Amino acid sequence: MQTRKLLLADGENDPVDAHAQPDRFTANGRDRVLEEIAVQIHCDTDIVAARQKGRVLAASLGFSSSELTLIATAISELARNIVLYAKQGEIVLRLYERGEQRGVMVRARDRGPGIPDVRRALQGGFSTSRSLGLGLPGVRRLMDEFEIESRVGHGTTVTARKWRR
Amino acid sequence: MEVPILKQGPYLIASIQSALSDADLVQLRDALVEQVGRLRSRGVIVDVTALDVMDSFATRTLRDITFMIRLRGAETVIVGIQPDVAFTMVQLGLKLEGVPTALDLEEGIAFLSKKDNGANKEAAPRGR
């Protein structure tokens, strides 16, 4: 089974770089990591913890309050997908710098069942569980860059970024 | 974190104090749907002023609360959705269609009493 990867913004493919250490460059060689935290996701209270940590972290970069709400909501949706579909996983929150720009990256990673049809999962209205079917398309709308890598039987990694304007 | 539910005359007021987990939201739903019958309430106000995030699950649960309580014969109004939260909900495409909303608690109570008065007038016997 091939890994299905879909790149949905002009961002560079960011090979999964395990955990980049702060102040080092990530695998794509362009992003300098300013700060990074990982939140383990096992249950619904972890969803709240992840979005609260994400809000605090992104606030340190000077995002506006409405942008912080968008980011926190995106984290909430991604963390819930982990709880609903994969039972457990992690959310990595990273502040980074690319040239003159700074931004926040949210990466949700699990070793769950994977998504058989990634393209369909990104269309509005499609969902395999009891949701509005807005999880992934919603996150994509809230963030500036969105990319998903999923392999059936192995897991899913969703990476979303938002630049500070 | 359990949400306190206050009885205020014919209405129930659920005043959310902090961020809620999915389980807390479901607990709130079940408590309201039960209490609206036990206390014979005519209306329910859910105050979400303290919520800094309303994602798809929270929105769906608030809609479920409204429709379940309507099926029980009472009216619900959601009050206090913050500007940033409203902005994010619109970006996400979350609409809360069919769910009454009001600016704050005061407006929520005004909405319910107006509804209540209207219903009383309709139920009153008409003069011949």
Domains along chain A with CATH numbers? 4-11+22-163 (3.30.565.10)
Residue B23 has pLDDT above 50, yes or no: yes
pLDDT tens-digit readout, A128-159: 444 445 478 889 999 999 999 999 999 999 99
Q: Is A138 on the interface with B (CB under 8 A)?
A: yes
Which of A44, A68, A132 lies closest to B56 in CB terms? Answer: A132
Q: pLDDT value at position A119? A: 83
Q: What is the mean pLDDT of residues A92-113?
A: 94
For A10-34, letters b (16+ CB in 10 Å) and e give ebeebeeeeebeeeeebeeeebbbb
In a mutational test of the B interface, the residue from A47, A106, A132 whose CB has the highest number of chain B CBs within 10 Å is A132
What is the spatial order of strands in the sheet that B43-47 belongs to? B5-8, B11-15, B43-47, B75-79, B101-102
pLDDT tens-digit readout, B28-61: 999 999 999 999 999 999 999 999 999 999 999 9
Instruction: Give the three-class secondary structure for B101.
Output: strand
Verify whether the Cβ–Cβ distance B91 to A141 is below 8 Å.
Answer: yes
Element holding A160 (H helix, E strand): strand A155-163
In this prediction, residue A126 has a pLDDT band, given cuts at 50, 70 and 90, of very low
pTM of the model: 0.86
Pairing of strands A155-163, A101-110: antiparallel
In this prediction, residue A23 has a pLDDT band, given cuts at 50, 70 and 90, of low
Residue A112 has which token pair?
A: 């769950």
pLDDT tens-digit readout, A30-86: 789 999 999 999 999 999 999 999 999 999 999 999 999 999 999 999 999 999 999
- CB contacts of A49 in chain B (<8 Å) are none
Q: Work out the mean pLDDT of chain B and round it to a whole number.
A: 93
Task: For residue A87, give how far its alpha carbon lies from the nearest alpha carbon of chain B (Å).
Answer: 14
Which of A44, A66, A134 lies closest to B92 in CB terms? Answer: A134
- Regarding the domain with residue range B5-123, which homologous superfamily does it belong to in the CATH classification? STAS domain (3.30.750.24)
ipTM of the shown complex: 0.89
Element holding B6 (H helix, E strand): strand B5-8
Residue B47's nearest CA partner among B21, B80, B89 is B80
Verify whether the Cβ–Cβ distance B55 to A45 is below 8 Å.
Answer: no
